[in-house]
């Protein structure tokens, strides 16, 4: 075999390692979760609705492809993206799929209620209204994701605790809930619950990453105590 041909074959074989790592829907979901923040295997397993053992196997495939790194802290193993380019690549893949695969639009239309959307949205105006106390920006992601990065003025109430902390939201408040971006179901579920309790709520399709891509600042740090 000519040397040039052999070299090309070796190169494309290495490129294909990424294709193999990304060939699983669950591994793509894990990358999406890790775009939000570093997480333990147990956290990823719970949020991706998998067993810890199965989650670990998927993470090992991603690690072999050098898409994620890990560290140990006591008895826990934490995973994070290898670098920010991995999240950029994942989002580029998602945009390509959105543009090429019509089934995505149908899936979204079947699940997401258009009435929960804020249309259209002026991001800077939303911040001004939140600063003035005219609207509550509600982050319904887990607390670790909020601490890693959240919208300015956002209040953290994870979806799993929304029922018990409902009294923290004024019945007169206008609420804009967000989570991990346009395909995240947490905000959709939060809006449905809030509306069932008589509150005025709408869903923001943006997540932190979309906010950053728009050139807007994101805050970090845990939620302040009441």
Q: If 0-12 CB within 10 Å is exposed, 13-18 middle and 19+ buried, where does residue 152 land?
A: middle
d(CA 208, CA 150): 6
Quote the DSSP letter at residue 216.
Answer: -
Q: How many alpha carbons lie under 13 Å from residue 162 in its C-beta half-sphere?
A: 24
Query: Is residue 179 among the annotated active site residues?
Result: yes
User: Which residue is catalytic, options 35, 87, 179, 184?
Assistant: 179
Residue with tokens 């190169």: 11
User: Can you read off the two tokens belonging to residue 105?
Assistant: 């639009």
Query: Dihedral of the CA atoms 79, 97, 140, 152 (nearest 10)?
Result: 90
Distance (Å, whole) CA 159 – CA 141: 7
Catalytically active residues, by annotation = 179
């Amino acid at each position: 075999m000519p040397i040039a041909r052999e070299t090309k074959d070796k190169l494309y074989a290495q490129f294909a390692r990424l294709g193999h790592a990304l060939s699983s829907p669950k591994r793509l979901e894990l990358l999406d979760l890790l775009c939000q923040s570093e997480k333990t295997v147990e956290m990823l397993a719970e949020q991706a609705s998998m067993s810890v053992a199965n989650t670990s196997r998927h993470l090992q495939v991603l690690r072999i492809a050098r898409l994620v790194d890990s560290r140990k802290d006591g008895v826990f193993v934490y995973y994070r993206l290898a670098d920010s380019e991995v999240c950029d690549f994942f989002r580029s893949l998602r945009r390509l799929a959105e543009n090429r695969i019509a089934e995505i639009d149908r899936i979204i239309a079947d699940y997401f209620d258009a009435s929960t959307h804020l249309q259209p949205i002026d991001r800077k105006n939303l911040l001004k209204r939140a600063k003035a106390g005219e609207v509550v920006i509600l982050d319904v992601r887990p607390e670790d994701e909020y601490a890693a990065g959240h919208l300015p003025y956002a209040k953290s109430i994870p979806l799993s605790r929304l029922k018990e902390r409902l009294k923290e939201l004024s019945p007169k408040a206008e609420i804009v809930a967000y989570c991990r971006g346009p395909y995240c179901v947490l905000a959709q579920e939060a809006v449905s619950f809030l509306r069932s309790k008589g509150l005025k709520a709408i869903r923001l399709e943006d997540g932190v990453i979309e906010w950053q891509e728009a050139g807007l600042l994101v805050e970090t740090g845990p939620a302040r105590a009441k």
